[in-house]
Structures are given as C-alpha cells and as structure tokens.
Amino acid sequence: MHIETNSAKVREARTYALELLLSEHVGDCEAPCRVICPASMNIPLMIRQIMGGQLSEALLTVKEHIPLPAVLGRICSAPCEKGCRRRKFDDPVGICLLKRHVADIDLASASPYVPACRAASGKKVAIAGSGPTGLSAAYFLRRNGHECTVFDKMPEPGGALRYEAPEETLPRSVLDDEIEIIRKLGVRFEMNTPICESFSLTDLTAKFDAVVIATGRMELQNENWCAGVATGARGVEVEKGVFATNLAGVYAGGDAVIPLRMAVRSVGNGRSIATAIDCFLANGGRPPAKRFNSRMGKLAHNDMDEFLKGAALSPHLIAGAADDGGYSVQEAVAEAARCLHCDCRDVESCKLRLYADEYGAKQATFKGEERGAFRRICEHEDIIYEPGKCIKCGLCVRITAEEGEALGLAFQGRGFSTQVGVPFGDSLADALTKSAARCAEACPTGALALLGTK
Ligand code: SF4
Ligand code: SF4
Ligand code: SF4
C-alpha cells in the first residue's frame, strides 16, 4: 500500500476542506481595534488584565508592542477607537486612556518596568534619527539582543515628539521617563551628531550590520548622505511591510518614507523594521507573513446583543477625573468593563487558524450570500461557547460522554445545519458539570474556550 500524506493533491484537498470550514465560520481572530491599531497592540487582552486588577501584566501586554505608551496615551489620535465595535452600540471603549493609565502607574512606581533583552547577538545596528520611528526600532532591536546606536543632530532624543508637540499636551518629563527606559535597555544615543555631515551611508554600512533611516523628511534632502538609496517623490522607497530599501541591510521608515502624521504609525513602523532586521541578521531571511485573520465583517442579526452579554452598559468615560486628565483606578476598571471582547480567546492556539496559515486558505472562496448569526453562550462560569466557531469535530461530545455527564453535549439537527449543543435546550452550566476545562482544552478552535485573562 502506498499512502500519500503531503502530495500536491492532498494539500489541495486539505485547502478545499479548510476553505469550506472557513466559509461558515463566524468570529474574528483578532478584534477590530487591534486590526486597525498601527502598532497591533493586543487591546482586548490589556483590557481584561485591567478588569482583573493585573496592572503589571497589562503593562507587559502594552510594552510588547508599544515602547512609548505614556507618550502615545497623550497624543495618539486613537485609530483603534474609530474601529472599536462598541461604537455601533454607543461610544468606543477609551482604549487610549486605558493604555495611558497602565503606563502612568508604571512610570510613577519606584522602579518602572525595563524589559529583559535576549542574549547578545554580536550584531550592531545604527539608527539615524531619534524620533518615534528610531526610538521604537531601537527598543525592539535592543530587546532582541542587538547593539543599537541612535544618531541625531539635536541635543536631546525624541525628534518631533520633543521639538514639535506642545508641552501642555505632552509634558517633556513623560517623554524623558520613557526614553530613559530605552536608555536603560542599553541603547546608546549619540546626540548633536548631524548624520549627513558626520557620516556617509557607506561609513555606516561598513561599521554596522544594519542601518535604519528614520531621519524624517527634511534631512533626506541632503542627497549626498543617502546616495545609493532609491528615493521617490515622497521619500525613500521601501518594500511594503518589510521596510527594506534597495540596499541590503538598509531599512527606512516613518516620515523618511511617507509623511505619516501619526506617531503611532511611526512606532508601528519601528517595530516592523526591527522584526525585518532581526530576520535579516539571523539568516538573511524575511519577516513572517501576516497571519490569517477570520473576519465576521458588519454586524447583522442580533449580533450586538450577543456581544453585549456580560459587558457593562454604562456610558463612555471621556476624560478621567484625575488631576492630569487620565483615568483613576476605578474609572479605568469601569471603562474596561464596557469592552465586548471581540477577539477570539484561542487566537494563539487555534488549529483552524494555524492550518489556514499553513495552507494559505482563504475565507472568501466559498462565501455565501449571508453569514450565520454570531452567538456567545456565557452560562458557564469557567468557559464560553461560540457555536459559529465550531467545526463539528465531536471531541467535546465524546469527552462529556466519557466523563459521565448527565446531559453533556450532543450533535443536533442534520446535514449542513448540524450544531453541537446542550440537549433539550438546557444550560451549558448544567451540561458541563465536570468536563468543561477538558472540553475547552480539547476544542481545536476557539468555539469552547476557557474564560480568564488570556
Ligand atoms: S476559532 Fe480560530 S479561526 Fe476562528 S476566530 Fe478563533 S482563532 Fe480565528
Ligand atoms: S469592544 Fe473591546 S475588543 Fe471590541 S473593538 Fe472595542 S476595545 Fe476592541
Ligand atoms: S470540540 Fe469544539 S469544534 Fe469540536 S465539536 Fe466541540 S465545540 Fe465544536
């Protein structure tokens, strides 16, 4: 007998099966707020951590993606809030002030958090420009173990954040505090160093393993400095999403590439550049492709009612009552409680997402006219059940039988309309009296998921 497990035909059949599953899938892998955030911060996780009083964990979540949260908490135009699903009901969740709350509490503590750095890679990176793009790139590159030197013509780092943002909006002490953390990571700053006059790009590429051009647009007008780098009408030309220029090892981002008009975009660029350089320095490779992201699109049916289950119906707290315009602890918890938790609880471990990535499966291939309704069953204190994400594998049905549940779970209906549910319309709490955690762990998708802050 000859068995093929990975031939082109087998892979094609698997892709077909995956796309059929995805065509009827109802749920978002990542929440709309996170998808739209240029820094891709895990907003719903931060919110759950704030609700649970886990402020140190919330700070870690923020700092995985944003090196300057207290700064951005004061000046960001918050595109995430424009994409927040809660807007469809009343007003968005105050994501920006929540992030600021977490960051301010840390900065005011006796020892603000300084992330750990990976072991020294032995590689050196030069960063031209100390604005939000340069600072962000330096923060993430240093965390990845690379030696980083930031050059800037001005006496103090911060670029437009320091020399353009009004003091009443962004107190310089806040900027200084967050830059101090980047310094503590081990990033070196060479200030009063006009890069165009001090070094040619060739000097830098000879001395460093990679170079980041984050100078903003003005300095780029000195063409002598960046001779050899391809430029267009708007700025340095880079490969989309990778930020690599035409010269190997030279990357560019922020206003040097295109006027961004949004500091959070520059911060996001800095992180993407650091990821690309990390892969380049490791083995000349490229950064991983964007992950598959199931999207349920516009709300329909009674979707909003389902999302509102468990969310506070209180109105949006616009500005905090605290002296400086931030949220107090009580306000932060109250605002966080308004979140609809639009993300999937199994976003990192879901096998459907994993295989969709591996096989390049598309959700829209077999798209029907109207998608099914979103449902969220929150009757159990340990788990939630979202039937639109169930792939009918039957694992939970088997487990509840094995565990001797009186009710358990069962297949209901026939053909395409088959669903997994509790017999006799009883509640999930009564159905899963002892097997809830085992079912959630076995479920290959986020259909049955443990509650808690993940
Ligand atoms: S179950 Fe998987 S594919 Fe579906 S939304 Fe959750 S993570 Fe995404
Ligand atoms: S309701 Fe919460 S999870 Fe949903 S988009 Fe808004 S902040 Fe994000
Ligand atoms: S284990 Fe998850 S995917 Fe499988 S039948 Fe149960 S709920 Fe559906």
What are the C-alpha distances in Å from 59 to residues 48, 84, 99, 264, 449? 12, 21, 8, 17, 24
- Residue 199 backbone class (left: φ over 0; alpha: ψ -120 to 50; beta: rest): beta
CA 375 to chain centre: 25
Q: Report the DSSP beta bridge partners of residue 365.
A: none
- Please state the pTM of the whole predicted model: 0.94
Q: Pick the residue whose CA is nearest to atom 1 on ligand 3.
A: 443
Decide: helix, strand or coil at residue 336. Answer: helix
Model pLDDT, residue 222: 66
Reported confidence tier of residue 417, pLDDT bands at 50, 70, 90: confident
Q: What is the pLDDT of residues 267-296, one digit of tens each?
A: 999 999 999 999 999 988 899 999 999 999
Q: Ligand 1 centroid vs 373 CA: distance in angstroms?
A: 15
- Over range 120-134, report the average pLDDT: 97
Q: Could you identify the atom of ligand 1 that is nearest to the CA of residue 28? A: 5
> Relative to the alpha carbon of 43, which ligand is closest?
2
Query: 222 CB contacts (<8 Å, ≥6 apart)?
Result: 196
Beta strand pairing status for 419-421 and 210-213? unpaired
Q: Pick the residue whose CA is nearest to atom 7 on ligand 1.
A: 347
Residue in this structure with the two tokens 């101090």, named with its chain if needed: 180
The number of C-alpha atoms within 13 Å of 4 and in the hemisphere containing its C-beta is 9
Reported confidence tier of residue 393, pLDDT bands at 50, 70, 90: very high
Q: What is the pLDDT of residues 443-452, one digit of tens each?
A: 999 999 999 7
Judge contact between 229 and 250, C-beta under 8 A.
Answer: yes
Model pLDDT, residue 200: 85
Q: Which tokens in the block code for residue 226?
A: 């960046």
